[in-house]
């Protein structure tokens, strides 16, 4: 076992990771709320960088019930230029709406989203 693995298993490391995940999630929730304001709002956003999972709950205009959205796995990849991408496969996404889960699984495929340069620091927090 290397030192990094040992340190990550300490209780304090878990508390720090959860705190970091919570802080990043608050910022992401704010950003997503700005993006979807015309369509609704994000009620909840949770991030787990150790498991590389995301949960979000949305209340869309005209919908009675919130829609839950789970990303069961994301990956971060870096190209030769040093640009970072978040990679998600549609098959790793589940929603509280069966039709939407199927649509995403059938149509999304593997998506690679560039992390904008001004948010490059964020990719370090997602690792």
Nearest-CA neighbor of 43 among 68, 72, 70?
Answer: 68
Computed over every residue of the chain, the mean pLDDT equals 85
| Residue 89 φ/ψ, nearest 5 degrees | -100, 135
Is 80 exceeded by the pLDDT of residue 4?
Answer: no
Query: What is the pLDDT at residue 118?
Result: 63
Query: What is the pLDDT at residue 59?
Result: 96
pTM: 0.77
First to last CA, the chain: 19
Is 80 exceeded by the pLDDT of residue 120?
Answer: no
pLDDT digits (tens, 9 = 90+) for 67-86: 999 999 998 888 888 888 88
What SS3 state is found at 47? strand
Contact criterion met (CB below 8 Å) for 86 and 113:
yes
Query: What is the pLDDT at residue 49?
Result: 86
- Counting the structural domains of the chain, the total is 1
Nearest-angstrom CA–CA distance, 94 and 96:
7
Q: Whole domain around residue 75: which residue ranges?
A: 3-125
Nearest-angstrom CA–CA distance, 78 and 87:
10
Query: What is the pLDDT at residue 33?
Result: 92
| Stretch 81-102: mean pLDDT | 91
pLDDT digits (tens, 9 = 90+) for 22-60: 888 888 899 889 999 999 999 999 999 889 999 999 999
Contact criterion met (CB below 8 Å) for 65 and 43:
no
In degrees, rounded to 5, the angle at the alpha carbon of residue 119 between the alpha carbons of residues 50 and 10 is: 25
> Which secondary structure element, helix H or strand E, spans residue 14, and what is its range?
helix 11-36
């Amino acid at each position: 076992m290397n030192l990094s693995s040992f340190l990550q298993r300490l209780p304090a490391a878990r508390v720090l990771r959860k705190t970091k995940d919570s802080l990043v999630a608050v910022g992401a929730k704010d950003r997503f709320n700005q993006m979807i304001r015309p369509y609704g709002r994000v009620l909840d956003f949770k991030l787990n960088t150790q498991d590389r999972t995301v949960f979000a709950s949305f209340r869309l205009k005209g919908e009675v019930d919130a829609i839950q959205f789970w990303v069961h796995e994301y990956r971060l990849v870096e190209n030769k230029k040093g640009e970072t991408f978040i990679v998600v496969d549609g098959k790793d996404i589940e929603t509280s709406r069966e039709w939407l889960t199927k649509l995403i699984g059938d149509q999304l495929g593997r998506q690679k989203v560039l992390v904008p340069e001004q948010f490059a620091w964020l990719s370090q927090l997602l690792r």
